[in-house]
Structure 1
Amino acid sequence: MVLSIVVLISGGGSNLRALLEAAADANFPARIVAVGSDNDAPGLEHAEAFGVPSFTVVPTAFADRASWGDELLAQVEAWSPDLVVCAGFMRILPPRFVAALSPNLINTHPALLPAFPGAHAVRDALAAGVAETGVTVHIVDEGVDTGPVLVQRVVPILAGDTEFDLHERIKIVERDVIVSAVESIAERRIVLPEPARNRQHQENPS
């Protein structure tokens, strides 16, 4: 099975680039069908370079977060993806978006969850004085970095590390981990749970 993927980004798109490069190999079991963003992100240039369509849904163009989420969902669902990957997507997704796509909605996070959730994970790990942090790929739920963990990999914190230094080392690992996770999902070495809506239908057939 070749997995079809929509990737969501907010920034430079280094994880997106890693996925695009992996998917360019005919033997890789996934294809990126579209890339979405919440702003005119520089990472969209990677999609253009690989000939992948992109879309942008800017929150300030909508009356409220729910309306923005509904439009983002419509744009994603137009591509009928098997999996949606949040790769440096820096906004909390509204409940209707999550309910429609999870558990086929995953995120990369620069820490070993449940430690250091949120937008400042690298800074928080340094401030806590821990010896190691890392990368987590997890299913997105309605909380902030609270969904089930799929893959984790440790990154040591070195003496004298700045936030920038540590984050750059984490990014290198993160690129490898997200490509590996997507490959494992496509090859069913990682099996995502059945969506709740499917379970409910099986339990209460009409």
Structure 2
Amino acid sequence: MAQRKRIAVFASGSGSNFEAVATAAAGDADSPYEVALLVCDKPGARAIERAERLGVPVLAVRPKQYDSREAYEADVVRELRERGIDFVVLAGYMRLITATLLDAFPNRILNIHPSLLPAFPGLHAVEQALAYGAKVAGVTVHYVDGGMDSGAIIAQEAIPVRSDDTPETLFPRVQAIEHRLYPAVVRAFAENRIRLDGRRVTIEGGLRFD
């Protein structure tokens, strides 16, 4: 078996997608990746509790202690290199990424977003979709670039919006897709089966949900 890719997951909140990605690897002896680090910019976030329960090392940092976003990311990059991180997975990480991190991991940073991008980028995507009257909602996994949820799209999955949906009823259905789709994309990425050509992305062999 090939050596597992070491990934770092960045999270700012509850960490449910972090846990989905981490447990998918921990429960699979043949997983091509392992979650080697959680990076959290909110030291009180629930994601840290999840990481401690799963035995994943945590790097908790306070960006406000740095003079700039670049200085903060430079410190994080040093930690990632010291820990032999192969690629980065953003999971509810509520900060825009600068060139400091992007250049350190070119085309090796993934993100998940609770809408069918390019519709409804940014915060409160589910609420945005409902306010707009969208008939479908969904999830997008994409590469990270310097914009807000603007990187090349890797995978998407849609679900219908019901006439009586509220954020409280729709978000759990969106989140259920996230928890299934993200580990599958991370696995494909770790297996070097994802190809990027401009903005076109192909997945050799497709996604596997076993």
- Normalising by structure 1, we get a TM-score of 0.88
> Which residue among 20, 23, 32 is the counterpart of 2:22?
20
Structure 2 distance, partners of 1:77, 1:166, is 39
Query: What residue is the counterpart of 1:36 in the other structure?
Result: 39
Instruction: Write out the 4+ residue segments of structure 1 that deviate beyond 4 Å after TM superposition.
Output: none
The answer for the alignment partner of 1:171 in structure 2 is 175
C-alpha distance in structure 2 between counterparts of 1:188 and 1:65, whole Å: 30
Q: Give the number of equivalent residue pairs.
A: 194
The Cα of 1:193 is off from its aligned counterpart by 6.5
**2:108 corresponds to which of 77, 96, 104:** 104
Deviates most, 142-151 or 1-10? 1-10
Q: CA RMSD in A?
A: 1.6
The 3 A distance-change label for structure 1 pair 193 and 99 is farther
Unaligned runs of at least 5 residues, structure 1? 195-206
8 Å contact kept, 1:134–1:154: yes
Secondary structure of 1:55's counterpart equals strand
Retained in 2: the 8 A contact 1:57–1:71? no
The answer as to whether partners of 1:102 and 1:141 remain within 8 angstroms in 2 is no
The 2-side partners of 1:175 and 1:91 are apart by 21
What SS does structure 1 have at the residue aligned with 2:59?
strand
Q: Following TM superposition, by how much is the alpha carbon of 1:70 offset from its aligned partner in structure 2, in angstroms?
A: 1.7
Residues 72-91 of structure 1 aligned to structure 2 (within 5 Å): 72-91=76-95
Shift of 1:190: 1.7
Q: Name structure 2 gaps, 5 residues minimum.
A: 199-210
Per-residue Cα deviation, 1:31-51 (whole angstroms, up to 9, x for no partner): 111111101211111211121
Correspondence 1:1-206 to 2 at 5 A: 1=2, 2-24=4-26, 25-40=28-43, 41-192=45-196
Query: 1:193 & 1:57 partners in 2: Cα distance?
Result: 35
Distance, in Å, in 2 between the alignment partners of 1:88 and 1:21 is 17
Distance 1:119 1:95 in 2: 22
1:43 alignment partner, SS class: helix
Q: CA deviation at 1:17?
A: 0.9
Identify the range of structure 1 (38-47 vs 137-146) with the bigger mean alpha-carbon deviation: 38-47
Letter of the 2:19 partner, please give it: R
Alpha-carbon distance between aligned partners in 2 of 1:127 and 1:138, rounded to the nearest angstrom: 24
Cα shift readout 1:82-107 (whole Å, capped 9, x = no counterpart):
21000111111122211221310000
SS of the residue 1:84 aligns to = strand
| TM-score, with structure 2 as normaliser | 0.87
Question: Which whole-Å CA distance do the structure 1 matches of 2:78 and 2:121 have between them?
Answer: 28
Distance 1:192 1:34, change over 3 A: farther
- Please state how far the C-alpha of 1:129 moved relative to its aligned partner: 0.5
Identity %: 38
Q: Using the alignment, how far apart are the partners of 1:71 and 1:11 within structure 2?
A: 21
CA distance in structure 2 between the aligned counterparts of 1:191 and 1:45, rounded to whole angstroms:
35
Question: How far did residue 76 of structure 1 move?
Answer: 2.4
